Amino acid sequence: MSVSMKDIKELRERTGAGVLDCKNALTETEGDIEAAIDLLREKGMSEAAKKSGRVAAEGLVNVMINDHRDKGVIVEINSETDFVAKNERFQDLVNSISEHIMLSSADNLAELNAEKWFKNEDKTVETIIKEAIAGIGENINLRRYVKMETEGFLYGYIHLNGKIGVLAEFEGEQDDDGLNTAKNITMHIAASNPDFLSREDVDQDVIEKEKTIIKEQLKNEGKPEHILDQIVEGKINKYYTQICLLEQEYIRDTDLQVKDVLEESDISVRRFTRYELGEGIEKKEEDFAEEVMAEVNKNE
C-alpha cells in the first residue's frame, strides 16, 4: 500500500526512528500508526539488546539542583561517541532522567531502572533508555548517580560541557558571599580532584601502607634510621594536602588552603561527589584498517 509522507513524519517524530524504518513499519501495519509504533518498539528493543554490549565511555555528566538548593542529583549517562553526546535528543534524555531521579525513591540503579517513568507510568526507566538506544542508534548506559538532600544548601558545577561534574553540600548562609565561595570550591574540586574531604575520612590502613612505602624508599636512599619517622611524618602531611580537599592549596590563591577560604566566608563543606566522564571504563582499542575491512566483509 502507499504510505503518506505525513504519516511517516508523524511516526518519525513520535519514535525517533529512521525514515525508511518508519515507512516499512507503516507498510507492514497497513498505515496503522499505533501498530507501527508497537512494531518499531519491538524491533527497537531487539536492536537495543544488540547494541547494549558495546562500550559506552562518552556521554555526559549532569548536575540538577532545585530552587531551594536543598535537593539535587549528579548523574553520569554514557554513549558510545562524543558526537551523540552533543545530540539534542541525548541531552534531553539526560535532563529527563535527572528530573526523574530528583523525584525517585530508588536506593540503587536496579531499583531506579525498574521504576515507572515519571512522565508515563506505562513505561519504566529501562524502557525509556532502550527506546533511546533504538532511536539514536548507539548503546546508552545510565552508569551512576548520587542524590543529595540537605538542611544546608547544595552547589553544583559542570566543566568542559559535561566531561566533569561536581555536586557538593555546604552548611552556612546562602548569601552572595556564601554562594560565591561555594561556586569557587566546586570549581576547585573539579580541577584538583580530591579523594577525601578531610584527613579523618582517610582509611588508616591506606596511611599505614603509605608510611611503609615511604620508609622503605628512605632506607634505600641511605637516610639515617633515627630520622626516618620524622621524615615519614612530614611526607604523610604532604600526602594529606594532595588527597584531602580541606588541606589542598586553593587554586585561586596557593598561599591559602581550602579550609582557610571556607572559614573566611563562614561556610563548611559536608560532602561532595565528583564524576569524571568515563573514568574507570576500559575503552576498546581498535585498528581502523581492520574495522573497515570487517565492515566491507560484512556487506559482501
Report pLDDT for 51. Answer: 56
Beta bridge partners of 171: 268
285 within some domain = no
CATH number at residue 139: 3.30.479.20
253 within some domain = yes
Could you tell me if 29 and 85 lie in one domain? Answer: no
203 within some domain = yes
Residue reference for cell 548520587: 146
143 within some domain = yes
- Phi first, then psi: what are they for 175, rounded to 5°? -85, 180
CB 291 within 8 A of CB 202: no
Could you tell me if 142 and 89 lie in one domain? Answer: yes
In 97-121, which positions are buried (b, 16+ CB within 10 angstroms) versus exposed (e)?
Answer: bbebbeebebeeeeebeebebbeee
Please compute, for residue 86, the number of CA atoms within 13 A of its CA located in the half-sphere on the CB side. 5
Q: Which class for 151: exposed (0-12), middle (13-18), buried (19 or more C-beta within 10 A)?
A: exposed
Output the DSSP codes for 245-286. Answer: GGGSEETTEEEEEHHHHHHHHT-EEEEEEEEETTTT--PPP-
Boundaries of domain holding 37: 5-51
Report pLDDT for 295. Answer: 46
Could you tell me if 88 and 30 lie in one domain? Answer: no
Name the nearest CA neighbour of 189 among 63, 66, 56, 97: 63
115 within some domain = yes
Report pLDDT for 24. Answer: 86
Could you tell me if 36 and 89 lie in one domain? Answer: no
CATH number at residue 26: 1.10.8.10
Could you tell me if 226 and 206 lie in one domain? Answer: yes
158 within some domain = no
Name the nearest CA neighbour of 75 among 67, 84, 65: 65
Report pLDDT for 114. Answer: 95
Task: Give the whole-angstrom CA distance, residue 94 versus residue 88.
Answer: 10
Report pLDDT for 33. Answer: 87
Q: How many domains does the chain have?
A: 3
Could you tell me if 40 and 63 lie in one domain? Answer: no
Could you tell me if 47 and 84 lie in one domain? Answer: no
112 within some domain = yes
CA angle 85, 23, 87 (to 5 degrees): 10
End of a domain among 114, 129, 149?
A: 149
Report pLDDT for 246. Answer: 98
Could you tell me if 98 and 16 lie in one domain? Answer: no
Task: Give the whole-angstrom CA distance, residue 283 versus residue 81.
Answer: 11
- Phi first, then psi: what are they for 124, rounded to 5°? -105, 170
Handedness of CA 224, 227, 231, 236 (dihedral sign): positive
184 within some domain = no
Report pLDDT for 52. Answer: 55
End of a domain among 109, 125, 149?
A: 149
Report pLDDT for 25. Answer: 86
- Taking only the tens of pLDDT, the chain with its 300 residues reads 678 888 888 877 676 666 777 888 899 999 998 888 878 766 664 455 455 556 667 999 999 999 999 999 999 999 998 999 999 999 999 999 999 999 999 999 999 999 999 999 999 999 999 999 988 888 999 999 999 999 999 999 999 999 999 999 999 999 999 999 999 999 999 999 999 999 999 999 989 998 999 999 998 999 999 999 999 999 999 999 999 999 999 999 999 999 999 999 999 999 999 999 999 886 655 444 554 455 445 445
E strand intervals along 4-132? 58-65, 71-79, 116-117, 120-124
Could you tell me if 33 and 114 lie in one domain? Answer: no
